[in-house]
Structure 1
Amino acid sequence: MGQPASQAAAFYKDVSKSGKLWTCKDDGGNPAPKTSSGKRAMPFWSSLSRVEKIIKNVPAYSKFEPQEVSWEDFETKWAPDLQEHGLLIGVNWSGARATGYDLEPNDVLANVNHQRHQNT
């Protein structure tokens, strides 16, 4: 399993257990950089420590602050809004350039909910 795949698997597992996820924000809102496909993706991480590491180590994110999102809010508000606006979700981006898998919001919902069902 490659780095992005293992980060995605950790994301689904961690979010399904904790019931929360993290993004980051500044006075202008949340980042949504263009991906290699030309679509925009908003990053989300499965733990506070993951987002803090990106903020600390990736210059483009240095002015952002962590933002906690409950799974319920993500499922009912964030994901539908991202889907409506054609944005992807970056899951547990990592590394010097904060990269990883960029997925459709409905795929992230399905994968986390599948993991949650496995945990019950």
Structure 2
Amino acid sequence: MFFREIGADGSVWTIEDDDGVPAPRGTDGHRAMPFWSLQSRAERIINRAPEYDGFRTREIPRSEFEHRWLPGASRHGLLVGLNWSGTRVAGFDLTPIDVLDRLPR
């Protein structure tokens, strides 16, 4: 769903507060930075998950996501969380390289 919804030229969305974008540690011990394909998906997390109360959405143009955010996540050893949902804020976490390989061209 994530890759289809952003398409070849769409934006991706993350959430942030005054300290920046979260990168929580998952049950497997790895940290992941969350991204959503639609602003409404990111807003739902802010509204439903108490740990993200006070966060705001941030739009990231597709080219910036591809050329800045994914390489940065890779350098820092972070996974990329895609379209996390629910009150447990769960979803798929992929390596930045896997995300880059799956982005529509």
TM bucket, shorter chain: over 0.9
Q: How many Å apart are 1:18 and its aligned residue?
A: 5.0
Q: Quick one: distance in 2 between partners of 1:16 and 1:107?
A: 16
Structure 2: which 5+ runs fail to align? Answer: none
Match of 1:30 among 12, 15, 21: 21
Partner-residue secondary structure (3-state), 1:56: helix
18-27 vs 73-82, which moves further: 18-27
Structure with bigger helix share is 1
Letter in 1 for 2:67: T
Corresponding residue number in structure 2 for 1:5? none
Q: Deviations over 1:52-93 (max 9, x none)?
A: 000000001111100000110011110000000000000000
Find runs of 4+ consecutive structure 1 residues off by over 3 angstroms.
Answer: none
Number of residue pairs matched? 105
Letter in 2 for 1:60: E
Larger Rg: 1
Corresponding residue number in structure 2 for 1:70? 61
CA RMSD of aligned residues (A): 1.0
Corresponding residue number in structure 2 for 1:84? 75
Identity of aligned residues (%): 46
1:1-120 superposed matches below 5 A:
10-17=1-8, 19-112=10-103, 116-117=104-105
- TM-score, normalised to structure 1, is 0.84
- TM-score, normalised to structure 2, is 0.96
Q: Quick one: distance in 2 between partners of 1:17 and 1:72?
A: 10
Q: Deviations over 1:16-43 (max 9, x none)?
A: 2552100011000100000111010000
